[in-house]
Structure 1
């Protein structure tokens, strides 16, 4: 039922192949079909919790950085300018870019589970160090390292979601886990309200305690990560089919606990040639030759959402304080409804990505969020919005933008072969964030510094245009991957006819 080893060296060194493989072991396995056949179980719930809590911590981290902008400017030690705030946030994103590439490469070579602990250690250490920053430079450096850990998390977590969750639930699960970022954002907002209250804590101590609190909460993740096994799909290709078979047996036992008397169906099998790793030459050939159209779609979606999100969210507090006169210690109250819209979007619209389909929903969410940003940006520029109505407008915009952003990760992680999945996520996240995300916060920080609503509106129009262009690209080229096995959407490179 599980794995059958076949000795077959006939195609091991096919000169027509872009890479030579020395390993001649071929397995015939039903593991992908068995994983996709499962109904939702306690195992899948534990996976969602263990992965979602990481995104909650990331949301906490990023929200604190945004909400603490005013406190950093008022800090007697650091005395940030708006440009310094934008620069530090760009450093965080630059770290995430480089971390995603480096850890993404490692994820495909040594597995998803090991990377979970490496990236988490980097993240926690750097976050704690941020609390002890003594200058603008040291703060930016520690934010860079924190971003590196988070960038690695993006690749390992999105790979794991795709490879452990049955096809019929894959879209909604991916969107909700990525959307859980905003639960952390809400927690960060509440924390900022308390920690930045001058009646309770001094201005140079509150933001430091905020980062230490985030690092302390992150220790919980180490325990929860024990619940997640290595990806059976990754194991079966990397020469460890027995381990893969044992893991799937345990998952099935958990999922079928109440229906043990039902006969097991006959699952279709695939034949795969085991390999120790996938050379970078084959990765490049796969992404930019075999799947170049999918690569273009992934890059456009990633870049558009990265600019849209990071430019606006990282300068959220600056808009409220500089243009609406909201005190820095009150910004958290405005982040709460914003975070609610961001989480409710994936939660309520996520099912439609599995029913109506990827192409329609990606086009809808990108297009609507882009048009709404242009409209509300115009209202902001002519001064008709208050802090409250501006926040409501952002809440509605990001109800659609949040599932759109998560769909970018979903698209990249499910439309490429297993052997290059993590590195594909890393590359497109890195390139997209480098183009859109790193530039965005620094650009908007500079636009806000001008004090001109018209200048800020111009930045909003740029973000709006990028989202509308991405919607058009998705409508024309996105892959209909809903409810399909990963091996059907993108055949493994190790596949043997």
Structure 2
């Protein structure tokens, strides 16, 4: 039980109790119940990339142009930024569980509405609403995952979870091969079914998610220490019953002053005054990955169709390989982020993907026929980029205090994605629409430069976070005045 030292102040071992747990069925439940948000986002983004060329064809029922596809992508990303900021603040105030249920419900309603799109303006609106749900998911989900997963495996678990984005992407592309087959579905029906399938997946996730508990770390700081103790006790009993393991005594405790809410000005001061270098780091990582990913992925279907003559019904086949290649990056390299370390691995993946973008662009400029070599280099580039991108979410989730964690994720996602993720799709969409390979090549080179800059920032400001408790990386604001740190 927590020791009450004075009014609204408690001493607790909850963080240490969670970090010492062996991997168990409970952690798998967290993995499947929360981590599957990335499947949804991967499905959403790739569906647009896969069906983009179909939406611009006569008979699709949408009457969209290539530029409209870029605008729809930007609306989705802008909605995600807004959703992250709005729901992120609510997540820190009202709890992780309440918000990860609400945000999933927003996504479900909005993606169903996408299926009934009849004009570009309506499609822009529904994509914006879908984005708000997904953006809110990131803030609620990533904060909850890191607060429930033991410190020793936090890096690899985060990257494996993030890799499921590309499982969703590959699934979305594979489904599109069937849904875009006009011998099975008419041109104005198949792409609508694609959005309906996203809603079905969301419903399945909602059922699993109901059994994931509130974060005990959030509970004890917000005056609900008895509930935090009960949740951790239930987790410990489940672990003992299923693994037969004898749990060691927690090796640390902490004293916190409980608060219901924390003023936004205090949160802002924490980011910009207490941890300025970490703030620069988070922005650089998010801008880099958002630009290259949103710019290229949202427009990949139209790029294959316009520059390689790939039919809209066949283009998703290339996106299946693209998704699987991206998924292999985090899966293959995830353990190294806990062993070799965060800084060398993040730096290497960002700089490595930037370097590989150069031969990718040269092949694109010099080849007008088969897209095979372009696809091979694309897979190599994003094998590294996907691991680095996943680590960006891990980084901002673990290097700021618990009370600000969800809003920190939201802030860096919103600002970084707003700068890179909105500009990227609009820029690439316009370049692809121009019909000029030279302009598209400029887009690739800009993406490489932004990724390289982020890699240099990580090399300078990166935090050695592997194996460390969240509270050791950034003391909770309620525990003691935060000290200036890297």
Task: Name the TM-score class by shorter chain.
Answer: over 0.9
Separation (CA, whole Å) in 1 of partners of 2:242 and 2:419: 50
State how far apart, in whole Å, the 1-side matches of 2:132 and 2:41 are.
Answer: 12
Equivalence for 1:488: 472
> Offset at 1:70?
1.0
Taking structure 1 as reference, are residues 496 and 448 closer, same or farther at Cα in structure 2, changes over 3 Å only?
A: closer
CA distance in 1, matches of 2:66, 2:245: 65
Deviation by residue 1:338-395 (Cα, 9 ceiling, x = unmatched): 1111111111101000000000000000000011012211221122673122112111
Q: What is the match of residue 254 of structure 1?
A: 238
- Structure 2 residues not aligned, in runs of 5+: 482-486
Question: Which position in structure 2 is the counterpart of 1:70?
Answer: 53
Alpha-carbon distance between aligned partners in 1 of 2:247 and 2:306, rounded to the nearest angstrom: 66
Q: C-alpha distance in 1, partners of 2:467/2:447?
A: 31
- Is residue 194 of structure 1 aligned with residue 178 of structure 2? yes
Quote how far apart the aligned CAs of 1:258 are. Answer: 5.7
**What is the aligned counterpart of 1:53 among 36, 42, 47?**
36
Do structure 1's residue 337 and structure 2's residue 321 form an aligned pair?
Answer: yes
Q: How far apart, CA to CA, are the structure 1 residues paired with 2:200 and 2:238?
A: 32
1: distance between equivalents of 2:195 and 2:365?
34
CA distance in 1, matches of 2:23, 2:244: 15
Instruction: Say whether 1:303 aligns with 2:302.
Output: no
**1:82 touches 1:449 (CA, 8 Å); kept in 2?**
yes
Contact 1:337–1:392, Cα closer than 8 Å, also in 2: no
Alignment correspondent of 1:142: 126
> 1:52·1:181 contact (CA, 8 Å) conserved in 2?
no
Alpha-carbon distance change, 266 to 208 in structure 1, aligned in 2, over 3 angstroms: closer
Could you say which residue in structure 2 is the equivalent of 1:268? 252
2:11 maps to: 28
Q: Is the 8 A contact 1:103 1:155 kept in 2?
A: yes
Which of 383, 386, 391 pairs up with 1:402? 386
TM-score (norm 2): 0.97
Q: Which of 428, 445, 467 lines up with 1:461 in the alignment? A: 445
CA 1:203–1:261 in structure 2 vs 1: closer, same or farther (change >3 Å)? closer
State the SS of the aligned residue for 1:5: strand
Give the Cα separation in 2 of the matches to 1:476 and 1:417: 21
Q: Which moved more, 1:274-283 or 1:51-60?
A: 51-60
1:276-295 equivalences in 2 (<5 Å): 276-295=260-279
The one of 324, 330, 335 equivalent to 2:308 is 324
Q: Which of 318, 325, 341 matches 1:357?
A: 341
Cα distance 1:257–1:172, how it changes in 2: closer, same or farther (>3 A)?
A: same
Distance change in 2, residues 1:427/1:301 (3 Å) = same
Q: State whether residues 28 and 270 of structure 1, in contact with CA within 8 Å, keep that contact through their aligned partners in structure 2.
A: yes
Residue 227 of structure 1: SS of its match in structure 2? coil
Aligned to 2:412: 428
Q: Deviations along 1:311-330, whole A, 9 cap, x unmatched?
A: 01011101100000000011
Residues 375 and 28 of structure 1: CA distance in aligned 2, closer, same or farther (over 3 Å)? same
Partner residue of 2:223?
239
Relative to structure 2, which stretch is displaced further, 470-479 or 381-390?
381-390
Structure 1 residues 102 and 258: alpha-carbon distance in aligned structure 2, compared to 1, 3 A threshold: closer
Q: What residue is the counterpart of 2:25 in the other structure?
A: 42
State the Cα distance separating 1:260 from its structure 2 match. 5.4
- Residues 126, 146 of structure 1: 8 Å contact kept: yes
Kindly indicate whether the alpha-carbon contact (under 8 Å) linking 1:63 and 1:189 is maintained by their aligned counterparts in 2.
yes
Q: Does 1:122 align with 2:99?
A: no
**RMSD (Å), alpha carbons:** 1.3
The C-alpha deviation readout for 1:168-188, integer Å capped at 9, x for no partner, is 110011111111011111111
Q: How does 1:71-86 map to 2 (within 5 A)?
A: 71-76=54-59, 77-86=61-70
Unaligned runs of 5+ in 1: 8-23
Pick aligned residue for 1:378 from 346, 355, 362: 362
The offset of 1:262, in angstroms, is 3.6
The normalised TM-score by structure 1 is: 0.95
Q: Is the 8 A contact 1:75 1:204 kept in 2?
A: no
Distance across 2 between alignment mates of 1:55 and 1:425:
15
Structure 1 counterpart SS, 2:382:
helix
Q: Which residue number corresponds to residue 221 of structure 1?
A: 205
1:184 equivalent to 2:134? Answer: no
The residue number in structure 1 matching 2:84 is 100
What's the offset of the Cα at 1:496? Answer: 4.2
Cα distance, 1:301–1:263 mapped onto 2, change above 3 Å: closer
The 1:218–1:72 alpha-carbon spacing in structure 2 relative to 1, beyond 3 Å, is: same
| Runs ≥4 residues deviating over 3 A | 258-264
- CA apart distance, 1:273: 0.5
Q: Deviation string for 1:254-287 (max 9, x for gaps)?
A: 2233665747425311000000011101001101
Q: CA deviation at 1:61?
A: 1.4
Distance 1:480 1:493 in 2: 21
Structure 2 CA distance, aligned partners of 1:218 and 1:119?
A: 11
Instruction: Tell me how many residue pairs correspond in the alignment.
Output: 480
Distance 1:259 1:378 in 2: 54
1:54 deviation in Å? 2.0
Aligned-pair CA distance for 1:115:
0.4
